[in-house]
Amino acid sequence: MGNFVNYVTSLHQSTNREYIKRMVDDKVDCMRKAKEYELDYWDGSRRYGYGGYKYMPGRWKPVAELLIKNYNLTNDSSVLDVGCGKAFLLYEMKLLLPNLKVSGFDISKHGIEQGKEKINKGLFVHQAQKPYPFKNKQFDLVLSLGCLHNLKIFELEIALREIERVGKQGYIMLESYRNEQELFNLQCWALTCESFFNQKEWLWIYNHFGYTGDYEFIYFE
């Protein structure tokens, strides 16, 4: 097993969330719409997801810098983002390392279509729980942020084994909880989450399915 890391937590904590307000909305309808993972999820009402997920110059730069430093990435390296969304993180990494080879996929056609021109040739629509069209250890780093908790537990095996297979190094960030209050907040806020597991449960899953990379959890405090 890899290391517990802290790359995205501060960015996550900078966003305010009204947990009860989301729960008392017509949440079932909102969940159905969110799980389409298309325009409403990314750029529609906040009820359905991000409420307008726009590129903000520099927002992902600190995360990109940490990844480049801690995984010893250079202009000769290659990175895959599993569940990349609009791939803003890959774009920031590319700005820092112009010759970095970046690839990313997401279930969302809308998300992929919003990728920046500088990187969009490496983006494609694909599901995290399907076999990846890459060679063994093809990438110096495979990362996945806020994606795998949207899979059911029987889908996680393929995703984790594929991340392990195609990457020399791995980093996964997921939603989790440490106590009952955080579990309640997560259940209020989540629209697409299928796997509500605490830290120990996630670590058991990683070990059981053979994932040896680094990991991070974000919490809804």
Q: How far, in Å, CA of 111 to CA of 96, rounded?
A: 22
**pTM greater than 0.95 (yes/no):** yes
Residue 1 has pLDDT above 90, yes or no: no
Residue 154 main-chain phi, psi, to 5 deg:
-75, -15
59 CB burial (10 A radius; 0-12, 13-18, 19+): middle
Residue range 112-171, pLDDT digits in tens = 999 999 999 999 999 999 999 999 999 999 999 999 999 999 999 999 999 999 999 999
Give the C-alpha separation, 142 to 144, whole Å. Answer: 7
Task: Give the single-character DSSP code of 55.
Answer: -
For residues 18 and 36, the answer to whether their CB atoms sit within 8 Å is no
Amino acid at 99: N
Q: What is the pLDDT of residue 153?
A: 95
Q: Residue length, the chain?
A: 221
pLDDT in tens, 54-80: 999 999 999 999 999 999 999 999 999
pLDDT at 19: 95
**Rounded distance between C-alpha atoms, residue 58 and residue 56, angstroms:** 6
3-state secondary structure of 29: helix
Q: pLDDT at position 187, please?
A: 96
What pLDDT digit, counting tens, does each position of 9-41 carry? 999 999 999 999 998 899 999 999 999 999 999
Phi, psi of 130 (to 5 degrees): -110, 150
Q: How far apart are CA 50 and CA 29, in angstroms?
A: 16
Give phi and psi for 103, each to the nearest 5.
-135, 150
Distance separating alpha carbons of residues 190 and 149, to the nearest angstrom = 10
Q: Domains in the chain, start-ordered, CATH in brackets?
A: 9-218 (3.40.50.150)
Residue 198 pLDDT more than 90?
A: yes
